[in-house]
């Protein structure tokens, strides 16, 4: 597996990471613990050394799972986790008060069975707490050796600049993919200017870009996509054109749609590291294979031309969650 640097932070990670949220919740039933541990360790065996979690995933269970799975190779992996919700529950609202951050980090260290967190993200900007107070608290944790790097998630340009002035921001994590390209407008230029890495979550459009989901797909009752406007039956039907175009390009490269979608992301900037998630070993192997797929100038031009003809339909979040992004 090739390695990439997240901006100018000095943090080097595998070119593709593993988003671990779906192992514990959000996309239907949690994966059985033994199977989840096997999948995480298989990812490591295949060159992945960058694993993404959060106290809110589960909540709490995902960090504990990661701590157990990665214990044998702890010194050879980069663990990212997050703070920012009351009691670790997104439904209860935001909480980035300094005392909360410190308590969350102590609890996360125990669950992760480690003495340091390589990359600690603020999960969402908390408008009740000045970003300078948030970052100042993280800086104390960095000085104490409990956190090595600070990151932000779904933050807007102003917040990124203010945070970076207090403590270098190593990475921003936000949604970015062939069907959500908003970061190109304001976010990517700021990250490039400041030397901050970018970690796209949902790089496969929450599974849609793989071609495995169509208008007839039925999601489990507890699957988050049931409330995402982009995943209504009508919108899935309207967005099928993008999957069709991806299929044509993939066929010409002897690759899969998912691999083309991930390779496209990595081709945008050398400091972009996508973190696709999966519960299936064959999908894990497919995603990792994207690290070896090179899209040339003609491929990228063909994709850009095709995208110009396609209008993606539907919001990426329900309204009550959309208000917490790009602050």
Catalytic residues: 57
Nearest to 240 by CA among 205, 269, 270, 273: 205
C-alpha span between 152 and 146 (Å, rounded): 17
Number of H helices, E strands in the chain: 13, 9
How far is the CA of 188 from the CAs of 152, 172, 194, in angstroms? 14, 10, 10
Task: Give the number of residues written for the chain.
Answer: 327
Q: Which residue has the tokens 């396609």?
A: 310
C-alpha span between 230 and 190 (Å, rounded): 27
* Cis bond before residue 59 (omega within 30° of 0): yes
Nearest to 179 by CA among 232, 223, 255, 230: 230
Dihedral (Cα; 66, 72, 75, 78), 10-degree rounding: -20
How far is the CA of 307 from the CAs of 179, 241, 283, in angstroms? 9, 10, 25
The shares of helix, strand and coil residues in the chain, as percent rounded to the nearest 5, are 50, 15, 35
C-alpha span between 112 and 8 (Å, rounded): 26
Q: Is 114 helix (H, G, I), strand (E, B) or coil?
A: coil
């Amino acid at each position: 597996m090739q390695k990439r640097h997240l901006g100018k932070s000095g943090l080097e990670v595998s070119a593709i990471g593993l988003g671990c949220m779906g192992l514990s919740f959000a996309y239907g039933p949690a994966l059985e613990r033994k199977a989840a541990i096997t999948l995480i360790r298989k990812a490591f065996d295949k060159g992945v050394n960058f694993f993404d979690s959060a106290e809110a995933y589960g909540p709490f269970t995902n960090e504990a799972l990661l701590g157990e799975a990665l214990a044998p190779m702890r010194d050879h992996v980069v663990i990212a986790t997050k703070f920012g919700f009351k009691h670790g529950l997104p439904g209860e609202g935001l909480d980035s008060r300094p005392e909360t951050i410190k308590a969350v980090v102590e609890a996360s260290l125990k669950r992760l069975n480690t003495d340091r967190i390589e990359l600690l993200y603020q999960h969402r900007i908390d408008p009740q707490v000045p970003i300078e107070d948030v970052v100042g608290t993280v800086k104390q944790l960095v000085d104490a050796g409990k956190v090595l790097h600070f990151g932000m998630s779904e933050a807007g340009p102003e917040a990124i600049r203010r945070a970076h002035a207090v403590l270098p921001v190593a990475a921003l994590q936000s949604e970015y993919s062939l069907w959500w390209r908003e970061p190109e407008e304001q976010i990517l230029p700021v990250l490039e200017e400041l030397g901050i890495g970018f970690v796209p979550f949902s790089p496969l459009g929450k599974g849609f870009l793989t071609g495995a989901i169509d208008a007839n797909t039925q999601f489990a009752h507890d699957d988050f996509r049931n409330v995402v406007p982009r995943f209504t039956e009508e919108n899935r039907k309207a967005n099928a054109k993008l999957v069709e175009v991806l299929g044509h390009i993939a066929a010409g490269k002897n690759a899969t749609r998912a691999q083309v979608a991930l390779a496209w992301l990595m081709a945008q900037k050398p400091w972009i590291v996508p973190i696709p998630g999966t519960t299936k070993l064959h999908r894990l192997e497919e995603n990792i294979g994207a690290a070896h797929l090179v899209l040339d100038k003609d491929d990228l031009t063909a994709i850009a031309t095709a995208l110009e003809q396609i209008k993606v339909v539907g919001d990426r979040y329900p309204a009550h969650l959309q208000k917490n992004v790009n602050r």
